[in-house]
A and B are shown apart, each in its own frame.
Chain A
Amino acid sequence: MNSGSTAGRGRASGFSDWLGGTAARRQDLAAAFVNAFQAWGYDLVATPLVETLETVAVGVGAPQQAQLFRFVDSDGTLLALVGERTVSVARAVAGQLQGAPFPLRLCYAGPVLRNAPLLGGRRRESLQAGCELIGHGGLTADAECIALAAAALERGGVEGAHVDVGHADFVPGLLESAGLPPETQERVRNALTHRDLVAVEAALQGTEIAEAERRLLLAFPTLRGGREILDTAAAGLGGERPRRALADLATLWDVLEGYGISTRIHLDLGAVRDWDYYTGVIFEVFSAKSGFPLGNGGRYDSLLGRFGFDAPAAGFVLHVDRCLGSVAAAEPAGSGGSVVRITWSPGSHHQAVQCARRMRDAGIAASCDLEPSEAFSAGASVHVDGTRARWGADGASAEGSYEAAVAAILEATR
């Protein structure tokens, strides 16, 4: 092969090619998710891959903005490739769909990009499919999002997924009602977003904090379970804000029981978020087969208001690429599956093309050779010679009209 001169012509770091059937599996999975969303009445929308940095900054904090691919438009406007699509949907709704009947149910699927540091094993482009439920502030809307995420994963064949549900206001409320000085609150929140529980402990050391709050803050990884953990957490807790968050989760749990999915739900009071527009119930989807969450979502009541249209909203996103690893072995059929090869004798190209067309009309994938031959390859293939066709698989062969060939191959693939 040519060496040296092709340096720099490879794939950009942190990006992937999807080859050998994986691209089809990825697209099928995204389609299965969107099908589930549409079956629940969510209308498919598409937002652009590019937003102005000013728009992105409405919903996304400085640390996340630093992880975007940014560039400059010809008129000097700063642009960014989107790192998530909720902000884009919020912008579109606030600007163009204010007259729509609410609650508004929208869904989308598309790539997002993050200019994350180049560390092996982390992808910078990923395919996301998500939903936004806009214009309803009640817990039934939060429950619908969680139940729909679970239903979509099921439709996509993603196995063993469960949802961790928490509340974005619980920890801030707990820190405030514990009477900690603002800088300590900040240190604890910071340590939690960096998943550093050792630093949480260090920040709380020597502070005047009530026993109930200290116990909760130090027990973060163990603050998970069913409805019973809410009572455990509430015991001895004085503050109004954290108690309200716990009451919300109790109500939510009851609603989720109606969907029959509470066996796949964990309440998780120590839930931590990457994007910072969440205001209420938050959730993440996990499976034992993935080291990263398969999806996440939550309530973001203040985001649309920042675009000049005050409306409560909740939503979620599923990470299609991460979900692929948890899908049961794909069936060999489908778009990555078998294709009938059509060969033709000299002078029979017209007839071969006609024969291929009949195959495709009958729902059989067929590819027509580009050069004449007498080859009769193994596997499903048809040879066209004038108005006659020969076909066969695994050594057996038969002869007849194109219709007979189509019928025989249809029969064989059934």
Chain B
Amino acid sequence: MSGLRIALPNGALLADACSLLEAAGIASLDPSSFARSLRVMDRGNDYVMLRPTDVPVYVELGACQCGIVGKDILWETERECYELVDLGFGTCRLVLAALEDSPLAAGEWPVSLRIATKYPRTTRRFLQRIGVEAELIKLHGSVELAPATGLADAVCDLTATGQTLRANHLVVVADAGTSTARLIANQAALKTRDTAINELAGALRRAVGSGVVPTGAM
């Protein structure tokens, strides 16, 4: 119908993104649609499946007009895109967490604090907001091991259910924000392809409002 190129994130958000597009009557896709090719045409739109961190890059630079991506990714990549609709699924919290028997867990902030995180930019902004000085250590995975091994005093990480935190004896010290999936759009495309994008945003908004897609399953 509308001839848009739309970026979808692989991984945790893909299934819900496909369900929502289906519920909105825009596409009939599911994760297996991308098993053979990362690019699928469906009802006149061109869907590409990307790593979540690449979704805002494709959209900012105009290779895709729209994309679906978690707010956490938008915090960290600092790309300039329009954020049009809160899609309501993929809910998770970014939290500062420390070992349950640590002074920090008891509310005592150490003079020199080391925090391990996969999200250094977001963490830096959060710490500035609450007025805390800290040394950040950028990691690429398994952040929850950092406190137990003595690498850091705390972690700043995403959690959906809190299960990983509990399994590693970590407790939440502070909340840095809540993330859900968003519909984003390129700034020029929003002007040059406004009819198609507003139709897409409107259909997704209605589908979110009707609650057809289960939210926050992870």
> In the complex, which residues of chain A have a beta carbon less than 8 angstroms from the beta carbon of B188?
286-288, 290-293
Within 8 Å CB of A268, what residues of B?
191
Q: Are B194 and A121 in contact (CB under 8 A)?
A: no
Are A291 and B194 CB-contacts (below 8 A) given A195-B81, A198-B85, A221-B84? no
* Chain B neighbourhood of A197, CB < 8 A: 82-85
Whether, in the assembled complex, A310 has its beta carbon less than 8 Å from a beta carbon of chain B, the answer is no
Question: For the complex, what is the distance from the CA of A226 to the CA of B190, rounded to whole Å?
Answer: 16
Kindly state whether residue B197 has any CB partner on chain A within 8 Å. Answer: yes
Check A196–B187 contact: CB distance below 8 A.
no
Whether a CB of chain B sits under 8 angstroms from the CB of A354 is: no
Taking CB atoms and an 8 Å cut-off, the chain A residues in 145-198 that contact chain B are: 162, 164, 195-198
Contact status A291-B61, CB under 8 Å: yes
Is the CB–CB distance between A196 and B83 below 8 Å? Answer: yes
Rounded to whole Å, the gap between the CB of A325 and the closest CB of chain B is 10
Of the listed residues B82, B84, B185, the one surrounded by the most CB atoms of chain A closer than 10 A to its CB is B82
Q: At the interface, yes or no: B60 with Cβ under 8 Å from chain A?
A: yes
A199 at the interface (CB under 8 A from B): yes
Q: Are A224 and B82 in contact (CB under 8 A)?
A: no
> Contact flags (1/0) for B130-165 with A, using CB distance below 8 Å?
000000000000000000000000000000000000
Tell whether B28 is near chain A: CB-to-CB under 8 Å: no
- B55-75 near A? 1/0 per residue, CB < 8 Å: 001001111000000000000
Nearest residue, chain B, Cβ from A294: B188
Docked complex Cα distance between A287 and B83 (Å): 21
**Contact A221 B62, beta carbon cutoff 8 Å:** no
**Least CB separation from A290: chain B residue:** B188
Q: Looking at chain B's contact residues, is the secondary structure mostly helix, strand, loop, or mixed?
A: mixed
Any chain B CB within 8 A of the CB of A347?
no
Complex interface: chain A residues within 8 A of B125 (CB)? none
User: Which size bracket describes the interface of A in this complex?
Assistant: 20 to 34
Chain A nearest CB from B13 CB (Å) reads 16
Q: Are A164 and B191 in contact (CB under 8 A)?
A: yes
Q: Give, as a whole number of angstroms, the nearest-CB distance from B208 to chain A.
A: 11
A293–B79 contact, CB under 8 A?
no
Give the distance in Å from the alpha carbon of A350 to the alpha carbon of B193 in the complex: 62
Kindly list chain B residues whose C-beta atoms are within 8 Å of the C-beta of A195: 80-83, 187
Are B192 and A288 in contact (CB-based, < 8 A)? Answer: yes
Q: Which residues of B contact A198 (CB under 8 A)?
A: 83-86, 182
> In the complex, which of the residues A162, A197, A266, A293 has the most CB atoms of chain B within 10 Å of its own CB atom?
A197
- Taking CB atoms, residues of chain A closer than 8 Å to B61 are 121, 291
Structural contact, B187 and A293, CB atoms closer than 8 A: yes
Contacting residues of chain A (285-307) with chain B, CB-CB under 8 angstroms: 286-288, 290-293
Give which listed residue, B85, B186, B192, contacts A287 with CB less than 8 A: B192
Residue A222 interfacial (CB < 8 Å): yes
With both beta carbons as reference points, the residue of chain A lying nearest to B80 in the complex is identified as A195
Tell whether B175 is near chain A: CB-to-CB under 8 Å: no
Contact A221 B194 (CB under 8 A): yes
B71 nearest in chain A by CB position: A198
| Contact indicator B186/A291 (Cβ below 8 Å) | yes
A260 interface residue per 8 A CB criterion:
no
Q: Does B78 contact A (CB under 8 A)?
A: yes
Interface residue? B189 (CB, 8 A): yes
A63–B79 alpha-carbon span in the complex (Å): 16
Partner of B187, one of A117, A162, A266, A292: A292
CB-defined contacts of B197 to chain A, threshold 8 Å: 221
B29 at the binding interface (Cβ < 8 Å): no
Additional A-B contacts beyond A198-B84, A221-B201 (12; CB < 8 A): A197-B82, A197-B83, A198-B86, A199-B83, A221-B185, A222-B194, A224-B191, A268-B191, A286-B188, A291-B189, A292-B62, A292-B187
What would 29 A/B residue contacts be, using CB atoms closer than 8 Å? A119-B77, A164-B191, A195-B80, A195-B83, A195-B187, A197-B85, A198-B84, A198-B85, A198-B86, A198-B182, A199-B83, A201-B86, A221-B82, A221-B185, A221-B198, A221-B201, A222-B198, A224-B194, A286-B191, A287-B188, A287-B192, A288-B192, A288-B193, A290-B62, A291-B60, A291-B61, A291-B63, A291-B187, A293-B188
* Residues of B participating in the A interface, judged by any CB pair closer than 8 Å: 57, 60-63, 77-86, 182, 185-194, 197-198, 201
The 9 closest A-B pairs by CB, nearest first: A291-B62, A195-B82, A121-B61, A196-B83, A288-B192, A198-B86, A286-B191, A286-B188, A198-B83
